[in-house]
Amino acid sequence: MMENEKEILTKMQVEFNARFGEQKTRAYFSPGRVNLIGEHTDYNGGHVFPCAISLGTYALVADRPDGKTRIYSMNLADKGIIEFGMTGLVYDKACDWANYPMGVVRAFEEAGYKAGHGFDILVYGTLPNGSGLSSSASLEVLTAVILNDAFGFGLDMVEMVKLSQKAENTFVGVNCGIMDQFAVGMGRKDCAILLDCNTLEYRYSKIALAGASIVITNTNKPHSLASSAYNVRRAQCEHALNELKEVKPELNALGELSNEAFNQLAGAISEPLERQRARHAVLENNRTLEAVKALEEDDVVRFGKLMNESHYSLRDDYDVTGKELDTLAELAWQVEGVIGSRMTGAGFGGCTVSLVKDDAIESFKKKVGQAYQERIGYAPSFYVANIADGTHRVI
């Protein structure tokens, strides 16, 4: 059972007073995200279709008169209060998780938005840790909104999203695309976002699944070294694109190609493995557009089939699933009432997303849960997702 927001904030204020002394605070919330379809397409200039979810990160914030920030996470109590300044920040391993907010402070400063003072900040997250539901993007955009609000910089959300991605790329050193920060910042209740990552054009699409829900299943796989494999996939796609450009110089991104155009050109990619990676990027992008069209025409069954195809492609061509995610997807496909199921996020571990008929959710949890436990040796966790608004001030 999810705690309600009021209870969470009350509990946080007690903890805030204990850590930092009694002060009046502002409260903020930043969601996590789940991607419905369009995986590993963002950095290939393709489309994604994520939504923000009601699990996320809360912050209570009080201004400090000096240039110091003290930050504490109730989820990572063993790390204690972490302190940092507000100018000239560089990555500091000793600051652990606080490098995410530090990176955003730095990205703001480099863009000319200098923080005039520091803060006392208490953070509490309801996202399962390391589950691939974007807890880091949630924290980054949260920091951006706190800064924008405190200093009246007047940045719009898309600018804050870009600065948050920059923090992750250049400060934390993870070469992610823009999907996660965009979904977190720009999320809208009951809607998914169709985002063209090439142009940043986007539109909202109402998710009204008559009699069905979005169920997130966490593999609970202990944290894997996903970021190095992620960067390898990126490099393979970039190399494939460069070879395609030799025969089609006007091409900017794999996301610009139709499936037919790709099939005609694919021979220009010399490495079979890179051809396979590029094929995923192209087909997944076009599949995403087809899936959104199906959903908007109320063809949920077609949408579900395309979700399954997305998983096959991520498993066979992109090779980012692994036995835990494959087991969850395969088990889900066997349960009556499951419309579609696939891995979501970067892969390697983390979560699947499934569309499940409401009257089948209990049997889904039971059947998938038991069989997964038998095959993998530990249990998965289930969350029925509520689609939420993007990062905002609560009070």
Q: Given the rule CB under 6 A, which residues bind ligand GLA? A: 39-40, 42-43, 176-177, 179-180, 345-346
The alpha carbon of residue 66 and the mean position of all alpha carbons in its chain are separated, in whole angstroms, by: 34
Tell me how far apart the alpha carbons of residues 149 and 62 are, in angstroms, rounded to a whole number.
Answer: 12
Q: Classify residue 251 as exposed, middle or buried by CB count within 10 Å of its CB (0-12, 13-18, 19+).
A: middle
Residue 39 Cβ vs ligand GLA, minimum distance, rounded to whole Å: 4
Q: Which residues contact 254 (CB under 8 A, 6 or more apart)?
A: 44, 45, 46, 237, 240, 241, 244, 262, 278, 281, 282, 285
Tell me how far apart the alpha carbons of residues 271 and 127 are, in angstroms, rounded to a whole number.
Answer: 39
- 180 catalytic? Reply is yes
Nearer to ligand GLA, 223 or 375 (CB): 223
β-sheet with 351-357: strand ranges across: 338-344, 351-357, 212-218, 381-384
Nearer to ligand GLA, 67 or 173 (CB): 173
Nearer to ligand GLA, 40 or 275 (CB): 40
Residue 197 Cβ vs ligand GLA, minimum distance, rounded to whole Å: 9
Tell me how far apart the alpha carbons of residues 299 and 304 are, in angstroms, rounded to a whole number.
Answer: 9
Residue 157 Cβ vs ligand GLA, minimum distance, rounded to whole Å: 17
Residue from 180, 326, 358, 389 carrying the catalytic annotation: 180
- The label of the residue with tokens 């509990």 reads 11
Residue 21 Cβ vs ligand GLA, minimum distance, rounded to whole Å: 37
Nearer to ligand GLA, 177 or 322 (CB): 177
Token duo for residue 90:
């560089």
Nearer to ligand GLA, 43 or 113 (CB): 43
Residue 174 Cβ vs ligand GLA, minimum distance, rounded to whole Å: 7
- Name the residues annotated as catalytic: 180
